[in-house]
Chains A and B, each alone.
Chain A
Amino acid sequence: MEVAIIGCGVTKFGHIWDKDHDDLLVEAVYEALRDANLELKDIDAVWCGTFYPSTGISGNVFSDSLKFFGRPISRVENYCATGMDNVRNACFAVASGAYDIVIAAGVEKLMDAGSRGLPPIEGIFSIGMPVVSAPGMFAMAANRAFKEWRWNREDLALVAVKNHYNGARHPKAHFRREVTVEEVLRAPMVAYPLGVYDCSAVSDGAAAVVLTRPEIAKKLGCDYAVIKAIGMAVETMHPWHRPSESFLSFPATVKAAKMAYKMAGIEDPRKQLDFGIVHDCFTITELINYQDMQLCKMGEGARLIREGVTAIDGDFPINPDGGLKSFGHPIGASGVRMIAELAKQVLGKAEGLQVKDAEAGFAHNLGGPYSVATVAIVSKP
């Protein structure tokens, strides 16, 4: 598969009390169109990702925001991987030749729900089962990793320190401030052993990319990056009821990565790719992602962060943009934003955060209780 990214638009992420989801979508979409040097009327079809019905449901979330009527629009929802699954659907539609130029957009208004952590969703937990918050789900992985591999809270803190260092330099990040290990360790507990700085924030934001086939991109004379592969896998939303679940690896990521690597002809990501963006909803998630993305062996994730391998100037930079840790995680938008960040990096446009000689990288979006994962590979044409 080869799909060209010809335009990217990303709003500032954060506590955006004064804008509604439609304002954010308009901002991201028009920025992407400007980037592609196109107009809205040039778009054949749209995929729009939102997780919470309170942000918006159906194709109307997009059509009514932009008053873009009379074309095909699908709303995509797939837990926290909503954003990138949305891009995946758009990619295959373009690659099939059914449409020539499409938009994949995503938006989320989390602040309006007014809750600590993610707003609860009705009915997703069955009656006999205790409710677990998102940090709680990943805290269970952390506690098992602590037991199994002797990782500790300081290893996790290093992830926050690294990502906030990068995010402090990104103009659109929610948090533009560096943190220290001490600050991370001192922060209030959210779900043991994860404290406030081990968690990504609840933020608002929107992102959009304009996609087409490379030959059309060339004809239009656009600068473009190429999506070479998108793998995707769905596992169980009850990992705690599956006896084979290790909580040390997220099978959805493992399978999505294998799919994407195979599609793009990658045998050794550490050699054939230059950097990556992983779903760091929580610090522990990033360390486990290293392993699941085949950047190291099982149990070695903490070593990578300790040795600085994944720092922006390291051997294999991870989350040079600052990650969800710095941006927060407006669910529908995050995966789309990750694709935009990849495009920026491989086109050499990541001012101040440019990974040296970045030619190809991956992005990873993970959702639910590690039940949904999407992995995309983006490179120079």
Chain B
Amino acid sequence: MASISDCGVYLPVWKLKREEIAKNTGLPSMGGEKSVAHWDEDSITMAVEAARKLKGNFDAVLFASTSTPFRIKQSASFVASALDLENAFTMDFSNSFRASTNALITANELVDSGEFERVLVVSAECLPLKPGSIYEQFYGDGAVALTVEKEGGAKIIGYHSSYQPLPGSWMLKDELLSYDMRLDAMFGYASSIQRSAMSLLGKLGMSPMDFDRIVASAPDPKSYEGLLKAVGAKPEEFFFRTTGILGTAHPLFLLASQLEKTGRILLGGYGEGADVIAIEISDPIQTNLGKMLESRKEISYGDYLYNKGFIANRDAPDRPPITKLWREEKSIIRFYGMKCRKCGTVSYPISRCCIECGAKDDFEEVKLGEKGRIYTFTIDYLVSPGNYVGDGAHPHCVAVVDLEGGGRVLFEITDTLTDFRGIECDAEVERTFRLLFEKNSFRYYGWKARLVR
């Protein structure tokens, strides 16, 4: 069996009060707030942000999400290249909210077999939710990444998986649907989790009393509480009131919330059947979950609709060909610059001749820094965020940033909508992986900067 040795969480900067949704849609509020991605985030970018918190190299990347932006084009390989991995086995898990526990179980097998040493399991969700639909209040956006290797603070001691065909929730195109949510609650969730858990306990020769805590993602928070009550245990924090259910990422998010305390836990992932994994945490793993929760700002329903593309001008002039993106992947995605061997200048992007002294083909490729300071900036009303044609209401904030370790780069400043407080000369910013723009039915990714979170 393998262990979890590190954990990174990513929550977008925005949180939306459910009362604000209720006020604007007329539906009753379910209370609390939910996590909302910025307009330039999706499951790929959030996965990269979560995974960047983890140290070291990986020889496999397992990506789990039901909201991958591309129907054909692997998300795991995007994550691998943004993380600048030399070579890795990459694989996407999808089509069920337990795709993340599927991936964790698979990672365990890959490591346990001895074929792979360090496996990245990363799950992200950014579901397209119809404004005014019941699901709008249920689901939030976020990502969680885990390092799975032989040794680590949290050891996987066993797992069991079972499936159960049930007309729960589904999505054909871009709308989350269900026949009747009560079906999942009454016939799916508790029975599936219990069935897998009982089989697992049987295999391990343990009883529920041998476990300190049980966390299991659920179609709704009440189902989780009901399950825990049924087995006579105390429910753990489910985060419905703070982030909403993070879809596929939710089981790993619940796991992340348990890693800072020692003890033996049962982790459940649900979706037409259940995965239950037994984990023994002997050495607590510090996560950034608390920091992520605290460093968020409130968003209005109107701005949320902008972020989700319902209010927006997303028209852009034609972009350079995708072949260019492929040729310049090292600069654009892996974010390498060049260091001139002649004059020592670090510059971006990689180019055959040095921008300061013109020396030809005499440089080494260098990975550029994570943080930097704004040299100068502007808030440009003729362009909208993402290089789209300006709508006059959503200006494009760009800054010339001097990076730590050298290199000067023009970045779009992100995680801002109309409030640019703090953007000034000498302000400290950090890099973040984002969607640059969508054009000609393709999504272009790259790096932007934001005020340090």
Contact = CB atoms under 8 A, between A and B. Distances in A.
A243 B380 contact: no
Contacts of A241: 347-349, 355, 408-410
Interface string A129-145: 11111011001110110
Interface in A152-201: 188-192
Interface stretch (A88-96, A116-124, A226-234, A311-319): A116-124
9 contacts: A129-B410, A130-B383, A130-B410, A133-B380, A140-B398, A140-B400, A192-B379, A240-B409, A241-B409
Interface string B402-422: 100011111110000000100
Contact of A133 (B377, B382, B406): B382
Nearest to B444: A127
Contact of A128 (B347, B426, B447): B447
Contacts of B328: 126-128
A141 B379 CA distance: 13
Nearest to B325: A127
A140 B408 CA distance: 14
Given A126-B328, A128-B349, 20 more contacts: A115-B389, A116-B390, A117-B382, A127-B436, A128-B446, A130-B396, A130-B410, A130-B436, A131-B396, A132-B380, A133-B390, A136-B380, A139-B380, A140-B398, A189-B381, A190-B381, A192-B395, A243-B407, A244-B356, A247-B375
A297 interface: no
Interface string B252-267: 0000000000000000
B412 A130 contact: yes
A243 B383 contact: no
A147 interface: yes
A238 B375 CA distance: 15
B452 interface: no
Interface residues of B, number: 50
B436 A242 contact: no
Given A240-B400, A241-B408, A128 B380 contact: no
Nearest to B412: A130
B441 to A, nearest CB: 16
B318 interface: yes
Nearest to A122: B318
Given A240-B410, A241-B349, A125 B387 contact: yes
Contact of B349 (A126, A135, A243): A126
B376 interface: yes
Nearest to A244: B356
A120 B447 contact: no
Contacts of B26: none
B320 interface: yes
A141 B411 CA distance: 16
Contacts of A122: 317-319
A245 B324 CA distance: 26
Interface of B: 317-320, 324-325, 328, 331-332, 345-349, 355-356, 375-383, 387, 389-390, 392, 395-396, 398, 400, 402, 406-412, 420, 424-426, 436, 444, 446-448
A236 interface: yes
B332 A127 contact: yes
Given A136-B398, A189-B381, A243-B347, A120 B317 contact: yes
B352 to A, nearest CB: 14
A135 B376 contact: no
Contacts of B345: 243
Contact of A191 (B381, B387, B402): B381
B394 to A, nearest CB: 13
A132 B398 contact: yes
Contacts of A135: 378, 380, 382
A130 B319 contact: no
A194 to B, nearest CB: 8
A130 B381 contact: no
Q: How large is the interface on A (under 10, 10 to 19, 20 to 34, 35 or more residues)?
A: 35 or more
Contacts of A191: 378-382
A137 B436 CA distance: 19
A123 B318 contact: yes
Contacts of A128: 328, 331-332, 349, 436, 446-447
A122 B349 CA distance: 20
B387 A131 contact: yes
Contacts of A123: 318-320
Interface string A8-47: 0000000000000000000000000000000000000000
A127 B446 contact: yes
A206 to B, nearest CB: 25
A240 B412 CA distance: 12
B320 to A, nearest CB: 5
B423 to A, nearest CB: 9
A241 B347 CA distance: 7
A243 B324 CA distance: 24
A140 B378 contact: yes
B318 A144 contact: no
A238 B324 CA distance: 17
Nearest to A194: B378
A148 B411 CA distance: 21
A240 B410 CA distance: 6
Nearest to B378: A139
A135 B380 CA distance: 8
Nearest to B403: A243
Contacts of A243: 345-347, 355-356, 402, 406-408
Contacts of B332: 127-128
Contacts of A144: 375-376, 425
A127 B325 CA distance: 7
A247 B378 CA distance: 12
B378 to A, nearest CB: 4
Contacts of A125: 320, 387
Nearest to B447: A128
B249 to A, nearest CB: 27
Contacts of A136: 378, 380, 382-383, 396, 398
B216 to A, nearest CB: 42
Contacts of A236: 355
Contacts of B347: 241-243
A120 to B, nearest CB: 4
Nearest to A135: B382
Contacts of B412: 130
Contact of A131 (B383, B395, B407, B444): B383
Minimum-distance CB pairs A-B, first 4: A240-B410, A139-B378, A133-B382, A136-B380
B314 to A, nearest CB: 14
